Amino acid sequence: MRRAEVSRESRETKISLTLNLDGAGKTDIRTGIGFFDHMLDAMCRFGLFDLTLRCEGDLRVDGHHTVEDVGIVLGRALREALGDRAGIRRAGSAWLPMDEALAFCALDISGRPYLAFDAAFAAPMVGAYDTQLTEEFFRALAGNAGLTLHLRLAAGKNDHHKIEALFKAFGLAMRDAAALDPRIQGVLSTKGMLDA
């Protein structure tokens, strides 16, 4: 089982999570931000990752620390669960439509963190979730997991749909990239290694 348990505590957040890459998309998520919980659940269901997550954050300030720090911890868990990355497909991509919204995700489990994010939102908030934090979450996730990550919105009007399409597209692309392929011997790299 490719699993990881990661905790992190600061003056702003207290987070603990368990991640299973070889799961069935089962989740138990409580961050204090309902819409964010919904997005993480959608991401895991499409990625077929099991995730148990608890976060106590300084929501009296705003949601920034909660969302960003969850990205940090989830990124670390992904890195740990992937281990030496031997035998994985390494790269994945997905288009995901949600009603009028259309999102694209391409990623490489390269060990070289990079985020290219091309998405704009009309509203500042969806429920208690700050739409600007979508980019912050994926930046923290990519940086700590060691992903080269491209996310793009090709269409959309409703911000709920647009954000959900991005999270689901990431889940699909990550599921493909993290999949084990018995034909791949060792690490899939012409260098014979992945940069750390």
pLDDT, residue 196, reads 53
**Average predicted confidence (pLDDT) for the chain:** 96
Within a domain: 163: yes
pLDDT, residue 185, reads 87
Instruction: Provide the number of structural domains found in the chain.
Output: 1
Cα–Cα dist 2/19, whole Å = 8
Within a domain: 191: no
pLDDT digits (tens, 9 = 90+) for 9-19: 999 999 999 99
pLDDT, residue 193, reads 64
Residue 184 C-beta-side C-alpha neighbours within 13 Å: 18
Average pLDDT over residues 64-89: 96
Strands 91-98 and 125-126: unpaired
Within a domain: 185: no
**Nearest residue to 62 (alpha-carbon basis) of 125, 106, 19, 112:** 125
pLDDT digits (tens, 9 = 90+) for 38-53: 999 999 999 999 999 9
Average pLDDT over residues 160-173: 98
pLDDT, residue 13, reads 98
CATH of the domain at 113: 3.30.230.40
Placement of tokens 């959309």 in the chain: 156
Within a domain: 167: yes
Average pLDDT over residues 125-131: 97
Within a domain: 159: yes
Residue 98 pairs with which residues in a beta bridge?
Answer: 101
Residue 43 is part of which domain span? 3-178
Query: Residue 34 has which token pair?
Result: 């309902």
Within a domain: 187: no
pLDDT digits (tens, 9 = 90+) for 182-196: 998 887 776 766 665
Within a domain: 158: yes
pTM for this entry: 0.96
pLDDT, residue 1, reads 82
